[in-house]
Chain A
Amino acid sequence: EIVVTQSPATLSVSPGEGATLSCRASQSVSSNLAWYQQKPGQAPRLLIYGASTGATGIPARFSGSGSGTEFTLTISSLQSEDFAVYYCQQYNNWPLTFGGGTKVEIK
């Protein structure tokens, strides 16, 4: 099973600032990595797939990069609606696995 590790667990950011979230896989997943945003009481929302392709309707301030085992989600200028928990998911191998999440909170 591929273990996916996210860091940091919590990120405190002021509105308008940028944020960089990391995701590491225990073995190469090529570019088969997705990012999701989840707000309290809601289902996750797909942000990025293929490590760097934005899903439909996702604002341009969200961008993804990386390949192999190291990936990054960058939010260029945090808006109030961006404070949430972010998960990465590898889909290169069965079983599919998610990282433990990064909570982005207001500083």
Chain B
Amino acid sequence: QVQLVESGGGVVQPGRSLRLSCAASGFTFSSYGMHWVRQAPGKGLEWVAAISYDGGNKYYADSVKGRFTISRDNSQNTLYLQMNSLRAEDTAVYYCAKIWAPGTRYFDYWGQGTLVTVSS
């Protein structure tokens, strides 16, 4: 069955960096675009970034553009989110999410999330 397992979250000071990982299994990872979606404590969902199946196309929310970088390693079935220049408002649970089918932009599987806390 499909599994997405995020890791790499933690407490980090403002201005520092963190890299999140999402290990995927149970499907042909290299055939699917992947996304990161975050949720601040007690708040709603916010789309963060997307990457095409081959890594050739990337998209970002304005709130993270220039600071975050999405990437993937299809040989390792792993999705990444490099987060630089972190701010307090980046504090959230970060979910990786798999698209329903190639070419779609909604999500049928989500990881359990990893909490990132930006605080001094």
Contact = CB atoms under 8 A, between A and B. Distances in A.
Contact of A43 (B50, B59, B95, B106): B95
A97 B62 CA distance: 11
A101 interface: yes
Interface residues on A, range: 20 to 34
A100 B100 contact: no
A96 interface: yes
Interface SS of chain A? loop
A34 interface: yes
Given A1-B62, A43-B95, A44-B45, A96 B105 contact: yes
A3 to B, nearest CB: 13
Nearest to A87: B45
Interface of A: 1, 32, 34, 36, 38, 43-46, 49, 55-56, 87, 89, 91, 94-101
